[in-house]
Structure 1
Amino acid sequence: MSFRIDPRAPLTGEVRRIAREEIDRAVAYLDAARDNPEKALHAARRRIKALRALLCLVRPGDEAFCRAENDRFRDVARSIAGPRQATALIETVDRLIADYPDHADSAGLAGIRAMLVRYRASVVYGAIGLAATLDAAVAECRAGAAAFEALHLPDHPEDAADVLAEGALATLRRARKALKQSSESGQAEDFHELRKAVKTHAAHLSLLRRLWPSPVKPRREQADLLGESLGELHDVFIMRALIDAREAPFDGPEPKLLVKLLKRSEKALRKLCLAAAEELFEDKPRRTVRRLAKKCRTDLGEAVAMPEPEGTPGE
């Protein structure tokens, strides 16, 4: 199956199907993380983010359920975040080496990278109890899967269209608010909020690609690129915060040249992200969602009115 809502099927069944598939994938990656934690944990977190985006989209249909399950899977993602953050630090240094090759040696980036690799090994394989963490994460995922079997959403075309439109609108408004705050204050937490909203919106584009009123593929590509840039900026913020706080692995003397390169990278990424976000969210959210709601009502209504072709099994 696929990560998209089929307008020919009842909304409740589609959401349960997608949730079940995403949870199964997350559990498979968590099990694989016992042997290959760096890559598998990152993949598991991506599936959990996709699941949380689904919950965000249909939240207007059952506020209490979606809030509770979002909290559940947010906590699961946080429990396995340590190794991923360690990898993100390494990737940030790799980007600095690629972007500023003339300064890599003087800043000692190769040595810093080696130190971060050793730190990641201690985080993943050290005393944090990776096996126990994974066991707990898998158990919570399976409990979440069972909970989804009790979910009931509005399946009538008019009501289902309203749920999807309201869910998409909430994310678009969140993105516009975060963009405004990022432009005005420039605080790391505002850019982080923008990043989360962009990632959620990108997932919504996938879920609604058969219902979105405009060409979805170019907008999804635009959102994905912006999400990657915001992710890089987030990693820079994290590294700078660790250095400023003298937290592990930067609990020694301040690496001044590294900080200088991080500031240069941050400045360039801020400018890039703000410009890209302004373009992506230039339309007013209400106008966009009005078109979405209209198309949802039309397509969902036609799907209900159109009988299944004789002899063709349902999908």
Structure 2
Amino acid sequence: MSFRIDPRLPLTGEVRRILAEEIGKALGHLETAREKPEQGLHKCRKRLKSVRALLRLVRSGDEPFCQTENQCYKQVSALLAGPREATALIETIDRLAAAFPEQSAGGGLDPVRDRLVLRQHELHGGAGLDAAIGAAAAACREALERVERLALPDQPEQAADILADGARATLRRARKALDKAGSRGEADDFHDLRKAAKTHSMHLSLLGRLWPTPIKARRKAVDEMGEQLGDLHDVFVMRALLDADGEPLGSPEDTKLLAKLLKRSEKSLRKTCLADAAELFGDSPKRSTRKLARKVRDDLVGPQEDAPASAG
């Protein structure tokens, strides 16, 4: 099956199916993380983000269920955040070295990278990771059993409104975050923009058969911007560590080059992300989703008559 809502089938059954598939995949990645944490943790957290994006899309159809489950997956993801961040910081050093080869050719970033690798090994090798994986897996298994409690309206017009409402809410979040990032420019503003962009990308996948405009190019652009916003987030995290008490990344002498390259990278990424986000999220969210609601109604009215009944 796929991470895509089939308009020929009742909405409740489709959402239950996708939730179960994504949670099952997250559980599989958690098992992988016991032996290969660098791979398993990242993939698990991506699946959890997919689940949360789906819950956001249909939230207005069963708000109590979606709110409760979204909070559950947020907590599960938080359990795995520290070990995953340890790997992301090493990747940030490597990106800086690749982006500024002349400045980093002398090994000026090596002392910081060595510290981060040691930190990663400590986090991945301790009992804390096993405990976090175990708690995350238990929470996911319990959540999997609750999937059948979801109950959404399956009538075509109501289903259309639910999907349009969810897509529009995320576009509003993105527009609000864009405005704040452009005017205030705090790290949290760009992080909110990144989260909204990631969610919107997943909504494009879920609504691939229903979105009224050509979505392949938009999806590609949103994903590319999401990656850049992710790089910017990692830069913010690294800079916060540089300013932290205790010099966790090393002495000022060891981190001098890192500070310089982070500043250059941040300036470039800020400019690029704001320009791309303005292009993607500058339109009115209401206007962007009005066509979606209309198209969903048109596509669902016919097929629903012959579709099998929703389970439960």
TM-score band w.r.t. shorter chain: over 0.9
Aligned to 1:2: 2
Aligned to 1:241: 240
Aligned partners of 1:175, 1:220: CA distance in 2, in Å? 15
Aligned to 1:90: 90
Aligned to 2:134: 135
1:266-291 Cα shifts (integer Å, max 9, x gaps): 00000010011011113211011100
2:26–2:43: 8 Å Cα contact kept in structure 1?
yes
1:246–1:252: 8 Å Cα contact kept in structure 2?
no
1:155-207 Cα shifts (integer Å, max 9, x gaps): 00000000000000000000000000000011000000000000000000000
Shift of 1:30: 0.2
Shift of 1:265: 0.2
- The one-letter amino acid paired with 2:145 is A
Aligned to 1:311: none
- The one-letter amino acid paired with 1:295 is K
Determine if the alignment matches structure 1 residue 230 to structure 2 residue 232.
no
Aligned to 1:157: 156
Aligned to 2:68: 68
Q: Please, what TM-score do these two structures have when normalized by structure 1? A: 0.94
- The one-letter amino acid paired with 2:78 is R
Determine if the alignment matches structure 1 residue 213 to structure 2 residue 216.
no
- The one-letter amino acid paired with 2:94 is D
Bigger Cα displacement from structure 2, 255-264 vs 202-211: 255-264
Aligned positions of 1:1-315 closer than 5 A: 1-105=1-105, 108-127=108-127, 129-246=128-245, 249-250=248-249, 252-253=251-252, 255-305=255-305
Shift of 1:126: 2.4
3-state SS in 1 of match to 2:149: coil
Q: Please, what TM-score do these two structures have when normalized by structure 2? A: 0.95
Aligned partners of 1:70, 1:305: CA distance in 2, in Å? 32
19 and 248 in structure 1: CA distance in 2 versus 1, 3 angstrom threshold: farther
Bigger Cα displacement from structure 2, 198-207 vs 237-246: 237-246
Aligned partners of 1:98, 1:121: CA distance in 2, in Å? 23
Shift of 1:246: 3.2
- The one-letter amino acid paired with 1:168 is A
- The one-letter amino acid paired with 1:86 is A
Shift of 1:82: 1.1
Alignment length, in residue pairs?
A: 307
Aligned partners of 1:154, 1:180: CA distance in 2, in Å? 34
1:221-275 Cα shifts (integer Å, max 9, x gaps): 1110000000000000000011111367426446122111101000000001001
1:98-151 Cα shifts (integer Å, max 9, x gaps): 111111145711232222111101111125x22221111111001111111111
Shift of 1:47: 0.3
In structure 1, stretches of 5+ residues that fail to align are: 309-315
In structure 2, stretches of 5+ residues that fail to align are: none
1:233–1:266: 8 Å Cα contact kept in structure 2?
yes
1:93–1:109: 8 Å Cα contact kept in structure 2?
yes
Aligned partners of 1:65, 1:195: CA distance in 2, in Å? 25
Bigger Cα displacement from structure 2, 203-212 vs 142-151: 142-151
Shift of 1:307: 7.0
Q: RMSD of the alignment, in Å?
A: 1.5
1:107–1:257: 8 Å Cα contact kept in structure 2?
no
Aligned partners of 2:109, 2:148: CA distance in 1, in Å? 50
3-state SS in 2 of match to 1:149: helix
2:112–2:250: 8 Å Cα contact kept in structure 1?
no
Aligned partners of 2:27, 2:248: CA distance in 1, in Å? 30
3-state SS in 2 of match to 1:283: coil
Aligned partners of 2:239, 2:111: CA distance in 1, in Å? 17
